[in-house]
Amino acid sequence: MKKHVLLLMLGVVGLTACDKKKSGRATPALEGPNFKLGTLDQETEVSKGDCSSIVESIVMPLDHNDPDSGTFNYVFQHVVNGPTFPTIIHVPGGPGQTLIGLDTSELPGSYNHILLDPRTIGCNYLDEATASDEVIDTFQHASDIIKIVEELSLTNYVVYGVSYGTVVATSFSDTIKDRTDIALPTAIVMEGVVGAPVYGTEYSDEFKNQWARRLSLSPRLRTAFANQANLPFGYTVDQWNTIISTLISIGGKIADDLLDSTINPQLYRIEVVKEIFDSFIGDGAEASLRGTTRFYNLVGCRELFNDTRYFNYLTSGTFEVYDLENFLEDGVSLEEAVQSCNAVDLDRPFNPEEYVMADVPTYYFQGQHDPNTPLAKARIHFNSQDHLSQSYFVEIANGGHNPLNIQLDDCKNQIWREVFNGTNPVGSTVGSTGCRFAGTSLFSGPSQSKLSRSLLIDADDIEKAEFKIPKLRR
């Protein structure tokens, strides 16, 4: 067994719990939440629009366990940059996120790309009369991807899962290893790795603790958020709840700078800062795509979340965790007010130890301070696959939930080259133009048969632009 544990000391597609903003809260009091939740109206979900101009299609079984279950027309977006280029299959997170129609201009041009909408969502929407609840789970989703590999006769490809997509990538790798008629993936890449389900207050506690960590590093930041009647830039408590949560998920230097702008505004282009914050908040009017709620309940609630009753709320500058049970109108149940997970049992919890992934190079990219899929749980997944001949755990210090796409964005071309070569994912970046890592130290473990490596990279020695946003500082 060869394991490479890489610690990148560096300065959002993601695993998401229920969005409490949909629950219709009233104006909060100055200290802590002050609202009552009534029965949530059935959310209106919208069609994704005309997908036909950007997709290819194949005939897909409704149930991969039952050849007599019938079929449906499954579509995917295939970006072909060269007839012989390797292929990256992008698996979205959520559960319930989609990728078809994504701006593909930022995707690495030396590869072909396959973008997916999971079965029953977006461009692959199916109603309940067509697809029963029994055919909506991670195994079926992963088997759809295997069918794409088969139909396209792919031989040099990588499955790249982000957040919940790492659960799908795990199932894919476990399932395809038993197939002898199609090629195994060249590698599996996972970013923001799910290692276990979320129970109780765990999800909210991670955000609370990460915010507390930041406050402990900056007394002035604590002061800036202490008075809920006078918060930075005139945003409300609810708005700052969203902004802070988003910044914690992003992590890295960009999050540090955006928070620093609240206490040192003279150093920043505040109009740019506020444009970014406004993009986090949105206008609150965006509806979910058809099938999203159903998919979330059947997959997220049954495999990943045992309930969604807890939430963070900015209280005297800190994130405190509250129980929605205490904020219900008289006679209203939690199921009526939230309608996600609280009436659905976690009856098939994801456990990576139940999977034996294909013995191909497998890469874990994990932010040190990822609140959505915490580092400790990602390591559970990594350690569960100790049969792999070649696996890499890349920890990005100060990184958030999407470190490969944010903190390592300018290094992605080099990293993808290493992935397709099945080698050290940051090996060629040392001293390379445009992605300079300095101060590296490589050392091996106790034996040649079980080599353990750590690559230490200091954030201060990285020259790169993060998050692809306009220059923040004046």
**To 5 degrees, how large is the angle CA 245–CA 415–CA 210?**
20
Is residue 369 one of the residues assigned to a domain? yes
Residue 175's alpha-carbon distances to 9, 17, 123, 171, in angstroms, are 35, 27, 25, 6
Work out whether the CA dihedral 279, 282, 286, 290 comes out positive or negative: positive
For residues 14-18, average pLDDT: 61
Q: pTM (2 decimals)?
A: 0.88
Q: Is the model's pLDDT at 31 over the cut of 80?
A: no
For residues 179-206, average pLDDT: 97
Burial class (CB in 10 A: 0-12, 13-18, 19+), 19: middle
The pLDDT assigned to 80 comes to: 97
If you average pLDDT over each of 183-192, 304-313, 411-420, which comes out highest?
183-192
Is residue 152 one of the residues assigned to a domain? yes
- Which neighbouring-strand residues pair with 455? 442
Q: Is the model's pLDDT at 466 over the cut of 60?
A: no
Question: What percent of the chain has pLDDT above 90?
Answer: 66
Task: Return d(Cα 234, Cα 392) in angstroms, integer.
Answer: 44
What are 66's two structure tokens?
Answer: 């039952």
Q: Tens digit of pLDDT for each residue in 273-309?
A: 999 999 999 866 567 889 999 999 999 999 999 888 8
Is residue 179 one of the residues assigned to a domain? yes
Task: Return d(Cα 87, Cα 155) in angstroms, integer.
Answer: 9
The number of domains in the chain is 1
Q: Is the model's pLDDT at 352 over the cut of 50?
A: yes
Q: Is the model's pLDDT at 430 over the cut of 60?
A: no
Burial class (CB in 10 A: 0-12, 13-18, 19+), 147: middle
Q: Tens digit of pLDDT for each residue in 325-350?
A: 999 999 998 888 887 787 789 999 99
Instruction: State the average pLDDT for the chain.
Output: 84
Is residue 206 one of the residues assigned to a domain? no
For residues 53-74, average pLDDT: 96
Confidence class of residue 407 from pLDDT cuts 50, 70 and 90? confident
Greater pLDDT, 365 or 20: 365
Q: Is the model's pLDDT at 399 over the cut of 70?
A: yes
Confidence class of residue 463 from pLDDT cuts 50, 70 and 90? very low
Is residue 223 one of the residues assigned to a domain? no
Query: 16-20, 184-188, 191-195: lowest mean pLDDT where?
Result: 16-20
Q: Is the model's pLDDT at 428 over the cut of 90?
A: no
Q: How many helices (H) and strands (E) does the chain have?
A: 12, 14
Confidence class of residue 135 from pLDDT cuts 50, 70 and 90? very high
Q: Is the model's pLDDT at 397 over the cut of 70?
A: yes
The pLDDT assigned to 8 comes to: 42
Q: Is the model's pLDDT at 441 over the cut of 60?
A: no
The pLDDT assigned to 366 comes to: 93
The pLDDT assigned to 15 comes to: 64
Query: 38-42, 357-361, 411-415: lowest mean pLDDT where?
Result: 38-42
Cβ-proximal residues to 262 (8 Å cutoff; 6+ apart), any chain: 221, 224, 225, 232, 233
* Overall size of the chain counted in residues: 474
Buried b (16+ CB within 10 A) or exposed e, 199-236: eebbbbbbbbebbeebbeeeeebbebbeebeebbeebe
Nearest CA among 334, 340, 392, 394 for reference residue 367: 394
The pLDDT assigned to 106 comes to: 86
Strands 457-458 and 452-455: unpaired
Is residue 250 one of the residues assigned to a domain? no
Q: Is the model's pLDDT at 456 over the cut of 60?
A: no
Helix (H, G, I), strand (E, B) or coil at 458: strand
Confidence class of residue 50 from pLDDT cuts 50, 70 and 90? confident
Beta strand segments in 298-423, E: 310-315, 318-323, 362-367, 390-396
The pLDDT assigned to 257 comes to: 93
The pLDDT assigned to 287 comes to: 73
For residues 397-416, average pLDDT: 87
Q: Tens digit of pLDDT for each residue in 202-216?
A: 999 999 999 999 999
Cβ-proximal residues to 419 (8 Å cutoff; 6+ apart), any chain: 158, 186, 187, 189, 361, 363, 425
Is residue 31 one of the residues assigned to a domain? no
The pLDDT assigned to 38 comes to: 84
CATH of the domain at 455: 3.40.50.1820
Q: Is the model's pLDDT at 12 over the cut of 70?
A: no
Is residue 150 one of the residues assigned to a domain? yes
Domain limits for position 140: 2-10+46-197+352-461
CA 77 from centroid of its chain's CA atoms: 20
Nearest CA among 41, 23, 36 for reference residue 326: 36
